[in-house]
Every structure is written in C-alpha cells, then in structure tokens.
Amino acid sequence: MAKVTIDGQTIEVADGTTILNAARQIGGELVPPAMCYYSSLKGSGGKCRTCLVRVTKGSEKDPRPMPKLVASCQTMVMDGMEVASKSDSTVTEARAAVTEFLLINHPLDCPICDQAGECHLQDLAFEHGKSSTRYEFERRTFEKIDIGPYIKLHMTRCIMCFRCVFVANQLTEQRVHGIINRGDHAEISTYIEKAIDNDFSGNVIDVCPVGALTDRTFRFKSRVWFLNPMDVHRDCENEKCSGKAVAWMYGGEIYRVTARKDKYGEVHEFICNTCRFEKKDKSDWVIEGARDLDRHSVISQNHYEHGELTVR
Amino acid sequence: MARKLLLEHAQVEGINTYEVYRKNGGYRSVEKALKTMSPDEVVEEVKKSGLRGRGGAGFPTGMKWSFLAKPEGVPRYLVCNADESEPGTFKDRYLMEKIPHLLIEGMITSSYALGANTSYIYIRGEYSWILFILERAIAEAYKAGWLGKNILGSGYDLDLHVNIGGGAYICGEETALIESLEGKRGNPRIKPPFPAVKGLWQSPTVVNNVETIAAVVPIVNDGGDEYAKIGIGKSTGTKLISASGNINKPGVYEIEMNITVEEFIYSDQWCGGIKNGKKLKACVPGGSSVPILPHFLVCKTAAGEDRMMTYESLSDGGFATGSMLGSGGFIVYDETQCIVRNTWNFARFYAHESCGQCSPCREGTGWMEKVLHRMENGAGKMSDIDLLNDVAKKIEGNTICPLGDAAAWPVSAAIRHFREEFEWHVNEPRACLERNYGLIGEKVAATL
C-alpha cells in the first residue's frame, strides 16, 4: 500500500496505482481531466496531456520533486508522494494550454454535433478554455468517411486520443484501422476506407471522447439531453457481449443504445453491434429502470436528482 | 595537428574494405576485449573514459551501460542509432560512408561489454546507399570471423543486422526507434519504463549513437584513462563536428574538446573563417534543436570568458545566454542571413516531423510554423512575437518525448536574441522581402 496526498487530501492505495486512479478514488474537483486515458483499454493514456499534475514530493524515501509536470494517468504513486492538481497554477495553466492546442484545429461545430452534451472536449473547454481564440489560420479539415453501415468517421473533430485504435486492437478480431500520416495532419483511417466488419466495432463510438466517431443509426435524430437513459439488459447470443446497455428513450421509443459508462465516461462492459445497432425495439430489452448519470456535463442537466449541483 | 581517434585513417585509399582496414590496425579492440578482458572490464574502461553520448543529450555512456538490467534468461540488445536526421548534422554519415568497419568493430566490442548476442544498426531511410556499404562490410566481417558463432574462439556469439527506417526524424528518439525496429509505427513510448529495463521486444536494450559506439574502439585500444586525458573537465575525448553554413571550409571535423569556438570558426585548420569576408551574425552550435547564439555570445560567454567547444562551455549561462553542444551540427550564419526565415525553416521541419501522438507538439508545432510563415511573408503582426514565445513555452516540457522541446527551443531562443529582427519583419515587410528574396515592387498579400 502507498500513501499519497493529492491537493492536501490523503488516501492509501494499492501499489502500482496511477496518480489519476488514486485521485479518482478520492473524487471531486481534484480529479485530473483525461481525454485519452481509458481504464479498460490496455496501453491507453499519456497522449492528450490534459491530466498533467505536479509532483511536489517524490516519495518518502526520495522526497525530491519531479522536475517537470507529469501525466497522472501514466505515473505510479509512491509511498509518501505529494501531488498538486487543481491547486497549482502551473498545472491549471498547462491544462489550459493543452485545451487551447486541442481546440485550434477542432471545428467547434457543437450545434450540429451529435456528441454535444456528452462531449469530453466540451466539458474540458468549459472548465479550462478561453472565450476567444488566438488561432487565425484555416483549420485542418478532412472528408467524412462512412466506416461500414453503422459508423461515421468525422476526422475533422478528432483529437487523436488513439482510444478507438486500442478498441480495434483489443476487442475486435482483426484491426483494420489505425493512424496514417504524421503530426497535425495525422488521421485515423481504415486502410482504403475499408468497412470495419466486426461484431465489436461499435464500441469505438463509445470510447471516442469527441464527435469524431458517431452512430449512423442515431445521427441527427435527437439531442442527447432530451433523451431518457434507461438501464436495460438482454441475453445476447454473443458470449463476449455483456448484454448490459443503456437505452436512450423518448416517448417509449429507443433512439439509441450505448454501453454503460461510469462517471468518467468509461465503459467497462462492452456490447456487440447487434445489441447496439439492431435492437431498437422496446421488446428486445428488459428495462431495469432509469439510469443515474453522475457526470458533470450538459447531459446531466435534465435529471433533477442532481439539481443545481451539476451546474458549475 | 590535433589528434584524431576516429577519422585517423579516413583518407586511406580503400579503408572501406576489410583488408585495408585490418592492415591499419582494425579490429584490434575486439581482439583485446574478447581475449584479455571481461565484459565488465570493458564497461569499466568506458566509464573511466568519461565518454558522453554523442547523439545530442550528452549522457555519460558508461553510466547508461551500467543501468542496463540483467535479468536471467532474457536477451539483451544493443541498438546503434544511425537515424541521423537533425538538420545541420552529417557526421555519422561521413563516418559510415568512409570507415564502415569502425562502426562494426565498435558494435562488436560494445555488444560484448553489454552481453548482447544480437545487435542492430538502425539507419535512416534517406541513407539508402549507406545500407549497402554497411551490409557489405558486415558480410566481410562475418567472412573474416569477427561476427557469428564463437568469435575468436572465445565462446561469444554475435549477430549484427542493419535495419533501414522509413525516413522519419522521430525515429531518432530511442523509444520511437525501438518501436520502428519492432515493425510498428514509430511513436515514442511513454517513459518509464526506460529502454534499459524494457526496450526492444520488451528486453533490456541500450541505444547509442554511431559516434559513441565508434569511440569505444580507441577507448578499448588505448585505455579509458588515455582517452580521458583529451579534452577539458567532463568533456573528454574527440568530437565530430559537422560544420556548415557561411564558412570557407564546411565539412566534418574531428576536434579534441579543448579548442575555443573562435579558433574553430576562424582557424584555417577547421572552418577557415566566414565566407566572402563577411561578419558573423549567429551560430547554432549543436544541430537545429539547440538555441541559436548571437554573434557576441558565440566566441565569449556572458561572463566574458572564451567559449570552448565543450559540453559545459557551450551551455554556459543556461538558455538565457548559452546553448548546447548537442549532436555537433555547427551552423554558422553571416550578416546577410535572415533569422526569421531560418527559424521558420526549422519550425517547418518540426511541424512536418512531429509524430502527432501528443497534443502540445502535434498542434503547437503546426501553429508556430503557420505564424512564422506569415511573418516571413510580410503579413505578421506585432502580437505574433509574443504569441510564438507563449506557444513555445507551452509546448516545452509538456510532451512525451524531447521533440516538443527541440521544436520550442530554437523559436524561443531566436526571439530572445533577435527580437529586433522579428519586429523589423512586422514593421517593414517589404524591406525584408526585398532583402530575403529580392522581390522589389512585388505586391505583398495583406493576409495569408
């Protein structure tokens, strides 16, 4: 066990826990934002740099502070470590800088984006962004791509978190998509726009923090905050599929099906494409009850159980 | 005449062939190491020599070697980083082209010291012809019994492979190089774990520059103490410098690290002074990633002492008034050169070569390039100068690998030392276009 202090709050966590996960165990405002780290995907994280924190004391044995800000999702806690997250102005400045970098080539087309309301970049910009931009050049754009019948890839919105590549690597049988090109012209692509033909490909939509990968069966049907999320389950024939999902309903009609996300937007039990895209009838599912959305985002606003606490 | 340890026989006819190389004392270090020394003794000699990594960071090689984890039953690897892509640096190219056997000899001796039975040379994609030079030399070494099973009857086996990259600058970063060598996309890994613990194929790996590995040969031949006698303080031995720019004699020079920068630029033995009798304006002493130095800080430090060609002296004063020896890519600018244009050129390079993995570098390098491009083309604004400084500051230190720092340093250093020239670009766009491109009377676009 290791004792770690984050923004003055001490917690004891198992050895090998990252600073980010230790912070999540404490919870609250000090939890660093994470755009690319995804706990159920091995190897994810370290890329977006929004979760930077300052380690002010390395450990009990070696109390030297770390010279640079570190990515909290990749740095393991040490016994006696002291970390400054939101309390340190250099950390918040660095996060604001990363937010600015992520936004300079983002289209900011939230009014027509399906992800709006449950977008992590929106939340990040709300917390760390500025009201104006210093970027005065044409933004990078890409053609929209249909990846198979169910998924739309809108690369212009992508922030290169690599999560969907990890999904393809770890959940699906055969990876047909990855990164091509380099630098700010790098893009997610299926080689020669080949359709992702796989039972679990739909999960790339759930892991995408922005609106780069969207559900073609749901696109432009409704704003997410008008829908009522219901916990549902069914006996899925696919043994790898958990069968546990959230049906987003309005007036008794299922508009879309997603996997169940925790308060950090992470899915731990993935679902198959049949459940996600083809079971849109109420009779397909056993309805457990309304889903409690514990997330500080627009999506929670219509759910009165959190009241004004969710608005900051 | 200064002592040459690496390039001593570079001009001998046919030195690229095994017979001539052997006749000139080649492969002596392998004989000495395998027959009379234990691997740890070789590491000890390298430690004594004070040899520092010649790829840019200047980390003590002996220390790097001693960090190598040695778990039972796991192979260890030595990888030679021949992905020399830093603008202004071409020393490894010269060394591999002229004396390929020196690198191979160094690889054998170093691999023996580290206990590696398979070693790789990762060469950059653009050096396609050197691939054939090395492969031929390796075939000769195999034939002569210096590579393969049971070398010199010592029971030590070594296989040496050359692997060619796809031409990405980022693959010169050691973890990206390892990824690329494994056949993956060359994205730097997140450290820790460091390659010394988990490198190639998740095994302990040492990645060293070509020149570092070549320097092991004279260290083993003459002893580490002898090597450490050359140079000043912690900068021991000889260093290959790739001199380029507005000088009379550009080329690769092997220097002992005890001469002054002034001597190096103006002496006929080295660069031979500034071309066409012009005046020195600035100098980048260690390849494009290091901060640029204005003329008054090139030959003297801020404290007024002579600046030497050593790691310490070149970085004297920190980044405020100093720079770095880096990889030894010594670029000299005369008074007619434009610093803004040069900075834009560097920024364009880094924007093109950023791997796109982490946000600050991916977006920031492209942003800096666009702002500098606009400024160089006469549409800059006064606020752009501070913007550039701010963007550079926000990239620096916040990225996975040092490419972000390497992109940020030249921009912030150019603004620090040549702010007036940036302001002149904003205030007199026509005059600067005329000077840089001779475009007198051309219509300047108001926005770009």
pLDDT in tens, B87-98: 999 999 999 999
> Could you tell me which of A43, A16, A207, A182 has the C-alpha nearest to residue B189?
A43
Cβ-based neighbours of A49, under 8 Å, separated by 6 or more: A71, A94, A98, B358, B359, B360, B398, B399
CA distance B391 to chain A (A): 8
The pLDDT of residue B447 is above 80: no
In percent, how much of chain B has pLDDT > 90?
Answer: 76
Instruction: Quote the pLDDT of residue B439.
Output: 58
Instruction: Quote the pLDDT of residue B316.
Output: 87
**Is the ipTM reported for this complex over the cut 0.90?**
no
Q: At what angle do helices B128-143 and B100-114 cross, to 10 degrees?
A: 60
Buried b (16+ CB within 10 A) or exposed e, B125-155: eebeebbebbeebbebbeeeebbeeebeeee
CA pair distance B358, A161, nearest whole angstrom:
8
pLDDT in tens, B52-72: 999 888 899 999 999 998 888
Exposed, middle or buried: residue B192 (CB in 10 Å: 0-12, 13-18, 19+)? Answer: exposed
Exposed, middle or buried: residue A147 (CB in 10 Å: 0-12, 13-18, 19+)? Answer: buried
Buried b (16+ CB within 10 A) or exposed e, B5-18: bbbbbbeeeebbeb
Q: Which carries the bigger pLDDT value, residue A300 or residue B156?
A: B156
pLDDT in tens, A76-91: 999 999 999 999 999 9
CA distance B431 to chain A (A): 24
Instruction: Quote the pLDDT of residue A10.
Output: 93
Of A46, A69, A182, the CB nearest to B355: A182
> Could you tell me which of A186, B283, B363 has the C-alpha nearest to residue B371?
B363
Chain A hits for B398, Cβ within 8 Å = 49, 52, 68-69, 94, 97-98
- Contact check, Cβ <8 Å, B359/A98: yes
Please check whether the two domains, A2-100 and A106-218, share a CATH topology: no
In chain B, which residues touch A (CB < 8 A)? 168, 170, 185, 190, 351-360, 362-367, 370, 387, 394, 397-400
CATH topology of domain A2-100: Ubiquitin-like (UB roll) (3.10.20)
The helix (H) or strand (E) run that includes residue B241 is strand B238-245
- Contact check, Cβ <8 Å, B357/A178: no
Reported as a pLDDT band with limits 50, 70 and 90, residue B8 is confident
CA pair distance B440, A294, nearest whole angstrom:
64
Nearest CA in chain A to B383: A134
Q: Among A116-120, A304-308, B317-321, whose mean pLDDT is lowest? A: A304-308
Nearest CA in chain B to A68: B397
CB proximity A74 to B under 8 Å: yes
Instruction: Quote the pLDDT of residue A293.
Output: 78
pLDDT in tens, A203-215: 889 999 999 999 9
Chain B hits for A48, Cβ within 8 Å = 358-359
Residue pair B190/B168 in contact (Cβ under 8 Å)? The answer is: no
Reported as a pLDDT band with limits 50, 70 and 90, residue B245 is very high
pLDDT in tens, A262-311: 888 899 999 998 999 999 998 999 989 888 877 667 766 655 444 444 44
The pLDDT of residue A103 is above 80: yes
> Could you tell me which of B145, B164, B73, B150 has the C-alpha nearest to residue B112?
B150
Chain B hits for A97, Cβ within 8 Å = 360, 394, 398
Reported as a pLDDT band with limits 50, 70 and 90, residue A73 is very high
Reported as a pLDDT band with limits 50, 70 and 90, residue B143 is very high
Residue B362: other Cβ atoms inside 10 A: 28
CA pair distance B317, B300, nearest whole angstrom:
11
Nearest CA in chain B to A53: B398
The residue-averaged pLDDT of A86-111 equals 92
In the numeric block, which tokens belong to residue B137?
């030399």
Reported as a pLDDT band with limits 50, 70 and 90, residue A258 is very high
In percent, how much of chain B has pLDDT > 70?
Answer: 97
Tell the residue number behind the tokens 């849109």, with chain if given: A280
| Domain ranges, ordered by start, for chain A | 2-100, 106-218, 224-300
The pLDDT of residue A6 is above 70: yes
pLDDT in tens, B176-201: 999 999 998 889 998 888 999 999 99
Nearest CA in chain A to B399: A49
Instruction: Quote the pLDDT of residue A191.
Output: 61
- Contact check, Cβ <8 Å, A183/B353: yes
pLDDT in tens, B411-444: 999 999 999 999 999 998 888 888 888 755 555 5
**Averaged pLDDT of chain B:** 91
In the numeric block, which tokens belong to residue B399?
């990225």
CB proximity A164 to B under 8 Å: no
Of B168, B357, B365, the CB nearest to A47: B357
- Contact check, Cβ <8 Å, B398/A69: yes
pLDDT in tens, A44-63: 888 999 999 999 998 889 89
- Contact check, Cβ <8 Å, A137/B370: yes
B contact test, residue of A54, A134, A182 with most B CBs within 10 A: A182
- Contact check, Cβ <8 Å, B366/A69: no
Tell the residue number behind the tokens 């450290």, with chain if given: B191
Residue pair B259/B309 in contact (Cβ under 8 Å)? The answer is: yes
CA distance B389 to chain A (A): 13
Query: Between A and B, how many CB-CB pairs are < 8 A?
Result: 86
Measure Cα distances from B308 to B54, B57, B248 in Å: 17, 18, 21
- Contact check, Cβ <8 Å, A184/B351: yes
Which 217-276 residues of chain A touch chain B by CB within 8 A? none
Instruction: Quote the pLDDT of residue A127.
Output: 86
The residue-averaged pLDDT of B116-132 equals 94
The residue-averaged pLDDT of B261-287 equals 92
In single-letter form, the type of residue at position B397 comes to: G
Q: Which CATH number fits domain A106-218: 3.30.70.20, 3.20.20.10, 3.30.450.20, 3.60.15.10?
A: 3.30.70.20
Nearest CA in chain B to A136: B371
Nearest CA in chain B to A45: B190
Of A46, A97, A134, the CB nearest to B190: A46
Instruction: Quote the pLDDT of residue A307.
Output: 41
Exposed, middle or buried: residue B56 (CB in 10 Å: 0-12, 13-18, 19+)? Answer: buried
The residue-averaged pLDDT of B283-290 equals 92
> Could you tell me which of B231, B14, B258, B55 has the C-alpha nearest to residue B137?
B14
Q: Among A164-168, B118-122, B344-348, whose mean pLDDT is lowest? A: A164-168
